Structure 1
Amino acid sequence: MSVAPLRALPLERLRERSSSKWRTYPEDVLPLFVAETDFPLAPAISRELASLVERGDTGYTPPDPGLARAYAAFAERRFGWTVDPARVRSTCDVMMGIVEVLRASIAPGDRVVVTPPVYPPFYDCIPEAGGVVERVPLRDTGDGWALDLDAIAAALASGARAVLLCNPHNPTGTAHSRAALARLAEIADRHGAVVLSDEIHAPLVHPGATFTPFLAASDLAARVGFAFVSASKAFNLAGLKCALMVTASDERTAVVAGLPAEVEWRTGLFGARAAVAAFALESDVWLDGLRAALDENRHLLAGLLADHLPLARYRVPDAGFLAWVDLSAYGWGDNPATKIRREAKVAFHLGPYFGVEGAGHVRINFGCSPEVLREAIERTATLTG
């Protein structure tokens, strides 16, 4: 049964928001940079947050706010993945969880593999945890992106001790295949390394693609891996501060259980309760409507680029609401987002922030209305005249 696409809020309502997306640049700039979306909250989340405020329920997060059970039910429903609630622990956000688990899993100075172009905070969280970034870029297969498993194997063979995986990948939107993830697990196990999988975009995999949780890719993946999940991207809850660390083996569970109590105390009460509402069966209809809207927009963007910026190179992503677009053919420099923001009044994310592979690229957030997306591309196209 088809689901009606969710409708984004009008611009005049969105400009009343006080978040980073709407306060970083002046009102004459269309913001399509940071990963916030423009849709109304899921009704169950709105009700839960309003109820908390009405009661003055703004204290510390309790030991068991229901997160683990709610996520386990969500993972089973949405991904066919059986998660043991006893192996789930919360924290403030995905990157904080990665830092703390990485700190507990490597020695100072150990190298950690990342797969650029990749989410910019990856480059910062590894040094924060005492590690050193080892870059192993994605392979361009001609029609998509893939992990360079041979190069990752070489990095681990030469002493790297961990892989920080983005699954689905940001900014390319690649949903890594089960076979690739299983082979990555074999490589990590062979070299005594661990894999930390950021799966924050997992609920937003589009038709024609499949999300495979890293821990479910194989028995070895369950043995070597940690997963980090959150409702924050799919349900636009980044400001509420709640993420989950998930494990599937006794050894990895012991690592997470051994983290300082303060790691879990940093979970926000509003974030925890909002996440429980997001993961509830009631919110599935809203999530399906969001996915339908994003599915339309990812294809709309392809058509807009073909019509207005025909030299742009864009692969329709498997997941999420972020598009990785190569504008280097227009000669706008290594960081075209700067020119576009200054001259066309459209803010895209800065390609070089994702690694040297991002030269000439921008990341476009299409989690907006079709009208805003169309205007953004049409404004950008005026720079070609």
Structure 2
Amino acid sequence: MAVAVAVAVKGAPVTRVTEPDPLRRLTLDQLRRRTSMKWRTYAPDVLPLWVAEMDVPLAEPVAEAITEAVRLGDTGYPAGTVYAQALADFTRRRWGWEVPPEHTALVPDVMLGVVEVLKLITGPGDAVVVNSPVYTPFYQFVTHLGRRVVEAPLDEAGRLDPAVLETAFARAVEGGRRAAYLLCSPHNPTGTVHTAGELTDVAARARAHGVRVVADEIHAPVVLPGAHHVPYLSVPGGERAFSLMSASKAWNLAGLKAALALAGSEAADDLARMPEEVGHGPSHLGVLAHAAALRHATGWLDGLLEGLDHNRRLLAGLLERHLPGVGYRPAEGTFLAWLDCRALGLGDDPAAVFLKRGRVALNSGPAFGTGGAGHVRLNLATSPKILDEAVRRMASAV
């Protein structure tokens, strides 16, 4: 049953209708019928809590949009600004900030959008600063593009370190070269949600060094109680920056490719230089699905956020009971958990041990760069029953 909840966005009360937690809807047997990467990479006896796919049914408005398009044979090429307009409505309602649709460009997905933006503002051999430990594809896509990765590790609390950033920015622009800063917001894998103050400081330092900021905000809708997402382009100094947004993570739409590149007011001319053919990459069905999610499935999202809040607290209790040696700081955002397993004595890659001995698939920490050794990333977006079983299996492996 849907529940109406009053919340505040920049002081104005907004009523949200929360639907039941979708994480409790599917059984393990139903999930094992899926043929996506999460469920086909490992043997059937493995519990997969790794790649960022969620164990949820599709939100009904999204399913209806796709079904209607298929019924009409509306499976051609994407056109128009329906996605950008839906995102503008969502960000206005959710965060009190509106995206100008004329400052957006349709891209195939967030990481390919990042690549296209980096092509606009950097050249071969230029540096891209990242905050390690960070989403593995940041390293892969940046190096494949012919750019250099410069790490600016997070501090011990998993937050941005101004002094470290200052040093990294100075290093990145040595010799008068162009440079970019690929910001993960909210941060993957730690789940840190950056504050307005932190982001404003980033913007000032980036401008002082001539570093262009590109914010990956794919997890922006997945921010849990106690934290608030601040769009990077909304902070003072964000005018020269770019953002990449998508409904794919929050509504489990990775297989329906579509994302948007957003430009700050002083970066709009740069975004306008993006080749027209880039917009041919997204799926038309993806555009329709993402727009439907943003416009009509926010109640489903709020139910998901309640379920994730429950799961992050459940995980804390399970670890305290079964694996007290594991360090865990419940995430403020995303549906991921970053676990410090160094005290268990399992080496640099505990995920390999948990897989071999416990038959639980997690992401290996070293792949996330400096600060990842001895850690694993666990996907919380599953049922409490599966999460409980996974932790028990992990404990049996120690």
Partner in structure 2 of residue 184 of structure 1: 202
Q: How does 1:98-117 map to 2 (within 5 A)?
A: 98-117=114-133
Pairwise CA distance, 1:255: 1.5
The partner residue of 1:268 within 260, 280, 283 is 283
The residue that corresponds to 2:14 in the other structure is none
Number of the residue aligned with 2:176: none
SS in 1 for 2:128: strand
Deviation at 1:359, TM superposition (A): 0.8
Q: Within 2, Cα distance between the matches of 1:48 and 1:138?
A: 41
Deviations for 1:311-340, whole angstroms, at most 9, x for unmatched residues?
Answer: 000000000110000111111111111111
Match of 2:164 among 151, 163, 179: 151
Residue 343 of structure 1: CA displacement? 1.2
> Contact 1:84–1:248 at 8 Å: present in 2 too?
no
- Cα distance between partner residues in 1 of 2:249 and 2:219: 6
Indicate the residue corresponding to 2:154 in structure 1: 138
Aligned twin of 1:304: 318
| 8 Å Cα contact 1:100-1:129 kept in structure 2 | no
1:319 to 333, 337, 351: 333
Q: Please list the CA deviations of residues 136-179 of structure 1 after superposition, one character each: whole Å capped at 9, or x if unmatched.
A: 10011xxx321112221222223431110000000000001111
1:371-382 residue pairs with structure 2 within 5 A? 371-382=385-396
Q: Partner of 2:383 in structure 1?
A: 369
The equivalent residue for 1:60 is 77
Q: Are residues 1:348 and 2:362 paired?
A: yes
Where structure 2 has 5 or more consecutive residues not aligned to the other structure, the ranges are 6-17, 174-178
What CA distance in whole angstroms lies between the structure 2 residues aligned with 1:292 and 1:128?
A: 38
TM-score, normalised to structure 2, is 0.92
In 2, distance between residues paired with 1:21 and 1:300? 22
Task: Measure, in 2, the Cα distance between the counterparts of 1:111 and 1:66.
Answer: 35
Counterpart of 2:52 (choices 29, 35, 44) is 35
The question of whether the paired residues in 2 share the 8 Å contact of 1:33 and 1:348 is answered with yes
- Secondary structure in structure 2 of the residue aligned to 1:72: helix
Which residue does 1:226 correspond to in 2? 242
Q: Distance in 1 between matches of 2:278 and 2:148?
A: 22
Q: Is 2:48 the partner of 1:48?
A: no
- Give CA deviations for 1:181-203 in whole Å, capped at 9, x if unaligned: 00110011111110000001110
- Equivalences for residues 209-248 of structure 1 within 5 A: 209-218=227-236, 220-221=237-238, 223-248=239-264
1:65-76 aligned within 5 A: 65-76=81-92
| Aligned pair partner of 1:253 in 265, 268, 273 | 268
2:97 partner amino acid: W
- Does structure 2 conserve the Cα–Cα contact (< 8 Å) formed by 1:8 and 1:368? no
**Correspondence for 1:83 among 95, 99, 102:** 99
Greater CA deviation, 363-372 or 156-165? 156-165
**Whole-Å separation in 2 of the counterparts to 1:383 and 1:279:** 41
Shift of 1:293: 0.5
Structure 1 residue 65 displacement after superposition: 4.9
> Matches of 2:244 and 2:210 in 1, distance apart?
20
Aligned residues: 376
Name stretches of at least 5 consecutive residues in structure 1 with no aligned partner: none
Instruction: Calculate percent identity across the aligned residue pairs.
Output: 46
Q: CA RMSD in A?
A: 1.2
Q: What CA distance in whole angstroms lies between the structure 1 residues aligned with 2:134 and 2:229? A: 18
CA offset digits 1:286-316 (Å, max 9, x no partner): 0100000001001100000000000000000
Corresponding residue SS for 1:286: helix
Q: Which amino acid in 2 is paired with 1:185?
A: A
Q: Quote the offset at 1:383 in angstroms.
A: 1.9
Q: Where in structure 1 do 4 or more consecutive aligned residues deviate above 6 Å?
A: none
Query: For 2:221 and 2:207, how far apart are their aligned partners in 1?
Result: 28
* Corresponding residue of 2:30: 13
Distance 1:130 1:254 in 2: 24
